[in-house]
Structure 1
């Protein structure tokens, strides 16, 4: 049995996880402000922005790991196809 179907299934799973994480991070950062001018009466806005930043910081390592895994699996799949093509041409 070839390893390709298993690689494609793993790649699809990792890519799906990556897309879910990116969508989650996008919904979190939708309400993040680039610049806030706060006075002493707007402490709740500062707290909201701090919570958003904490959530994004928590998700970022998982996004990086999923991106790296997707790239690595893509390179492996492409390498196997190129190796197989070269082997058949020789």
Structure 2
């Protein structure tokens, strides 16, 4: 198997994983509300919102890591094609 299809397959898998984690975080944040609960009667709402924030905070480092890896992979793909163009003009 040649290098280019493997490179594009790895890049595509990384983008797919990044999109999946992004969508998961978006679904979690959809139920999050920006409210301040002053009264103790709404403690169940405060607990539910705290649980959502906790899950979003757990996903955030994974999202940042996948974003960094995908950016590096994208730069690698671009660099590979720039290198290929330069070699063709030699």
TM-score, reference length from structure 1: 0.93
C-alpha separation in 2, matches of 1:39 and 1:32: 19
C-alpha separation in 2, matches of 1:2 and 1:75: 20
Structure 1 consecutive aligned stretches of length 4 or more whose deviation exceeds 3 Å: none
Answer 1 or 2: higher relative contact order, Cα 8 Å, separation at least 6. Answer: 1
* RMSD over aligned Cα atoms: 1.1
TM-score, reference length from structure 2: 0.93
User: Are the counterparts in 2 of residues 18 and 67 from structure 1 also a CA contact under 8 Å?
Assistant: yes
Residue-pair matches, total: 90
Give the unaligned 5+ runs of structure 1. none
